[in-house]
Amino acid sequence: MKQTPSPDAGGAYRRRIAFILSEGCVCAALEDDYHHFTLELRHGNGLVTGIDAQAMRTPWSTCPSASTQLTGLIGAPVSCNILADNGGLDASTQCTHQFDLALLAIAHAARGAGGRYDAMVTDPHGGTVSASLHVDGRMLLDWVLQGSTVVSPGDYHNVNLRTINMRELAARDTAAAEAVLLLRRAVMVAGGRAFDFDQYDDLTPFATRMKGACYAFQPEQIPLSKRRKGSVRDFTTAPQLLLKDFY
């Protein structure tokens, strides 16, 4: 597969996720260079009672239809432990980003707290990238990575983000797992800035390497997944535009 640098390379990838709580309901939203989703999670008596998601901007034409897969979470317990077991669902059959948002919404409902998370990952420079996560303006994680390995000092020094056991971490410390999940996902998605995806019409060039990775890459979806050209945004110098209509 030809690797063509993205016209946006040379800046930084940014992702914002936010949660607003009301009685029996969590409104959540996610936006980054490639995606924009909103979600409403309803709950009562300790269980998820309803979930609706809207795909506002997606890279592939099949991504929006993945929202129906989230109904598998109805009946799941409202607990932070949802991050450890994925509600018993197979994440590979879900839209990764909608599923993350739903699991995090459940965890926030369990804690009874909203919040805003801002992740930033620089484009590579000298073989490394810098990645940070802020929660309501407070720095929570600050990493330097070579490839997928954290090389900066701290609790995650020498941790490889591709091989870290997220379920084990979530079972041990749900707060730490939530933070790592958010920044790890941002680091993985940020790698897409090295490509100009609009040169492709569909998922065919990625099918062999990515087959089965998520909803859009399921074998039955690959032939249907068309590129939504012109959908990429660059928030390098304009993070204030992320989720600007959510609040």
User: For 4-32, how does the pLDDT look when each residue is reduced to its tens digit (9 = 90+)?
Assistant: 445 556 799 999 999 999 999 999 999 99
Whether pTM exceeds 0.85: yes
Tell me if 132 sits within 8 A of 143, measured CB to CB. yes
Tell me if 81 sits within 8 A of 100, measured CB to CB. no
- Residue indicated by tokens 């040169």: 199
CB count within 10 Å of CB 240 equals 9
pLDDT at res. 2: 43
User: For 216-241, how does the pLDDT look when each residue is reduced to its tens digit (9 = 90+)?
Assistant: 999 999 999 999 999 999 999 999 99
Q: Where are the domains of the chain?
A: 12-191
User: For 180-191, how does the pLDDT look when each residue is reduced to its tens digit (9 = 90+)?
Assistant: 999 999 999 999
- Residue indicated by tokens 């609790």: 155
E strand intervals along 45-178:
47-57, 115-122, 129-135, 138-146, 149-150
Q: What CA–CA distance (Å, rounded) separates 222 from 220?
A: 6
Q: What CA–CA distance (Å, rounded) separates 98 from 36?
A: 9
Helix (H) / strand (E) element for 19: namely strand 12-22
Tell me if 162 sits within 8 A of 186, measured CB to CB. no
CB count within 10 Å of CB 148 equals 15
